[in-house]
Amino acid sequence: MKTTWKDIAPVPTSQEFLDIVLSRTQRRLPTQIRAGFKISRIRAFYMRKIKFTCETFAEKIQAVLDGFPRLADIHPFHKDLLNTLYDADHFRIALGQLSTAKHLIETVARDYVRLVKYGQSLFQCKQLKRAALGRMATICKRLKDPLLYLEQVRQHLGRLPSIDPNTRTLLICGYPNVGKSSFLKNISRADVDVQPYAFTTKSLFVGHFDYKMLRFQAIDTPGILDHPLEEMNTIEMQS
């Protein structure tokens, strides 16, 4: 499976999430119920409104979950890179919190649809609908931190160059300010902004070139990578 972080859609905040779902529900099912209607019609309307809100929440949450690749499906290189920049366990937990929220919202909807089914008046059905949507909104608001975290992951990994772990690779490393970035710029098509001061390279830069009919990728890395992994900082660990 090819990992393309740049293709992941932006992750909305919990408030944006809530606004999208509730506005969509109101547009699709505007309130058209009055006190003179039969109780069966009143019940059916509010049950439909609860179900539609639940389905919209579930659809939007699932879209976020499907947007990120599963750790079990990505190449070990990309998994290690993710673990270096953003702890893979934290990433897995954040996705798990979204999945749990989706199931909780579906449970709330089922419970309140059952209650509305036996509602005795317009007021009672309306209050049950309001309580159902309120509980769903509370669950959504609890996703504030996981959603912010996933958006940070998406933005950061989306800015990284596309590295194919199965392609022949030339790794360029060395002391600061010795011309690594200039070398990469000269041998490949990479657009590297060369600066005249030490340790300019704060991320990975990738360029591609052909040599004897073979395609290579050259990676400009920060640092000299001459000490143990446990002593490297995050920037060096990317290498």
**Structural domain ending residue among the three candidates 104, 139, 159:** 159
Answer yes or no: is pLDDT of 204 > 60: yes
Cα separation, 33 vs 30, in Å, equals 9
- Say which residue the tokens 């609908």 belong to: 129
pLDDT tens-digit profile of 142-174?
Answer: 999 999 999 988 887 776 656 666 677 777 777
**Residue 46: closest CA among 104, 124, 138:** 124
pLDDT > 90: what percent of the chain? 45
Over range 109-138, report the average pLDDT.
96
Answer yes or no: is pLDDT of 180 > 80: no
pLDDT value of residue 239 = 41
pLDDT > 70: what percent of the chain? 70
Q: State the residue range of the domain holding 144.
A: 5-159
Backbone dihedral region of 199: left (phi > 0), alpha (psi from -120 to 50 degrees) or beta?
left
DSSP line for 14-66: HHHHHHHHHHHHHHHS-----TTS-HHHHHHHHHHHHHHHHHHHHHHHHHHHH
Same domain, 48 and 148: yes
Same domain, 154 and 47: yes
Instruction: Evaluate if pTM is beyond 0.75.
Output: no
Same domain, 196 and 104: no
Answer yes or no: is pLDDT of 50 > 80: yes
